């Protein structure tokens, strides 16, 4: 029997595993009927949270989820989706503006075949849009009954605090959740986001417990490079020959050996680790096949001892991250040189070498 957890301060009871729907559709499992069968199996096993996004296969994932929740299943599901990513050629069909949020939510409601969304999340920050505008629009959707709660995904700690302050100052409903990557290989959020979530009562939906496949069991020292559909999308992040990945590969290998010694699969070790953090409400799993799902479901019976958790800390220290891209989003202040460099002074006729007129 599933032991449910409270989602932050919402009072909503959620299953420790949330079904992520990113792999349903063109970017993963293209068979709608098979995807629906996987969703139904998860629900029958006690999973009551489904997390998707409009940008997953450009709406196809939401459509599959909508089909799966017919026949009375919708009422028992805490349904979450996200907005932000580009959804068309129009430059305004993306981002976190009030204009786009109001259109995006209607599109998601139609695809999901529902009259409300339980949790509507800003998929990523939007530096071009005033955060107060975004939160105001989401608060209005709560008042309109289109959504029940709103949250964020991969937002920096300072913005999470700012969001709490904006809500208090304007008398808005507060953000209820934050979604972050978290696994034995990706631990940077232990420094700030997870403690902040506990301080402000945010529910945490942790995704990527297998660190984008690095903890699936295929990344071992001396083994062949595993195939990953992500290789072309994020060059270098998965190349085991890259110097920057040597330490990450060694850690993945050590974690695999630890799991073997404990009589666990690496998947069980990794998911159980993420579930063990007291700030985590649910861990998002992203199966593409029924076999993947069964492997994830087996983690619910796993409890890690203090000795195993201590050994994980020795292999990957708390707060550590191997690759900046593993954190979910690299802030523009890091990627855009113009944001961290003062502009050169304009040429002046008094500068050395200038000829007076």
Q: Are 153 and 121 in contact (CB under 8 A)?
A: yes
Q: Are 188 and 327 in contact (CB under 8 A)?
A: yes
Hey, which residues does 179 pair with through a beta bridge? 153, 205
Measure the CA–CA gap between 151 and 142, rounded to whole angstroms: 12
User: Reduced to 3 DSSP states, what percent helix, strand and coil does the chain have, rounded to the nearest 5?
Assistant: 40, 15, 45
Q: Is 296 a catalytic residue?
A: no
Residues 6+ apart with CB under 8 A from 344: none
Measure the CA–CA gap between 172 and 153, rounded to whole angstroms: 19
- Listing DSSP states for 22-39 in one string gives TTBSTTSB--HHHHHHHH
Q: Are 114 and 120 in contact (CB under 8 A)?
A: no
C-alpha distances in Å from residue 294, one per residue of 58, 115, 282 = 27, 31, 17
Measure the CA–CA gap between 251 and 255, rounded to whole angstroms: 6
Q: Are 204 and 213 in contact (CB under 8 A)?
A: no
Task: Identify the burial level of 107 via C-beta atoms within 10 angstroms of its C-beta, where 0-12 means exposed, 13-18 middle and 19 or more buried.
Answer: middle
Residues 6+ apart with CB under 8 A from 204: 8, 177, 178, 179, 180, 182, 193, 194, 197, 277, 279, 280, 281
Q: Which of 56, 120, 149, 182 is catalytic?
A: 56
Helices 266-276 and 306-315: crossing angle, nearest 10°? 100
Catalytic residues: 56
């Amino acid at each position: 029997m599933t032991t449910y957890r409270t989602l932050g301060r919402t009072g909503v009871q959620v299953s420790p595993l949330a079904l992520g729907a990113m792999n349903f559709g063109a970017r993963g499992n293209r068979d709608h009927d098979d995807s629906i069968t996987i969703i139904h199996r998860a629900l029958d096993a006690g999973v009551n949270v489904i997390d998707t996004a409009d940008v997953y296969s450009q709406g196809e994932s939401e459509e599959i989820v909508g089909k799966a929740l017919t026949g009375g299943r919708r009422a028992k599901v805490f349904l979450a989706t996200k907005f932000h990513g580009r959804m068309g050629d129009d430059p305004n069909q993306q981002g976190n503006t009030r204009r786009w949020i109001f259109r995006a939510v209607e599109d998601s409601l139609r695809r999901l075949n529902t009259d409300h969304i339980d949790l509507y999340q800003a998929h990523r920050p939007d530096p071009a849009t005033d955060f107060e505008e975004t939160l105001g629009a989401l608060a209005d959707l709560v008042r309109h009954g289109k959504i029940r709660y709103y949250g964020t995904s991969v937002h920096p700690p300072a913005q999470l605090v700012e969001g709490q302050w904006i809500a208090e100052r304007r008398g808005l409903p507060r953000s209820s959740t934050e979604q972050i990557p978290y696994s034995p290989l990706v631990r940077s959020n232990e420094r700030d986001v997870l403690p902040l979530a506990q301080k402000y009562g945010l529910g945490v939906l942790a995704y990527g417990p297998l660190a984008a496949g690095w903890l699936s069991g295929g990344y071992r020292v001396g083994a062949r490079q595993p195939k990953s559909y992500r290789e072309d999308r994020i060059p270098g992040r998965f190349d085991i020959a890259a110097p920057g990945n040597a330490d990450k590969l060694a850690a993945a290998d050590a974690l695999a050996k630890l799991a073997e010694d404990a009589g666990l699969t690496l998947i069980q070790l990794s998911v159980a680790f993420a579930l063990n953090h007291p700030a985590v409400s649910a861990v998002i799993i992203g199966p593409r096949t029924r076999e993947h799902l069964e492997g994830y479901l087996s983690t619910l019976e796993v409890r890690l001892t203090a000795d195993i958790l201590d050994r994980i800390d020795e292999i990957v220290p708390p707060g550590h991250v191997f690759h900046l891209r593993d954190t979910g989003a690299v802030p523009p202040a890091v990627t855009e040189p113009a944001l961290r460099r003062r502009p050169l002074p304009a040429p002046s006729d008094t500068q050395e070498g200038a000829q007076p007129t």
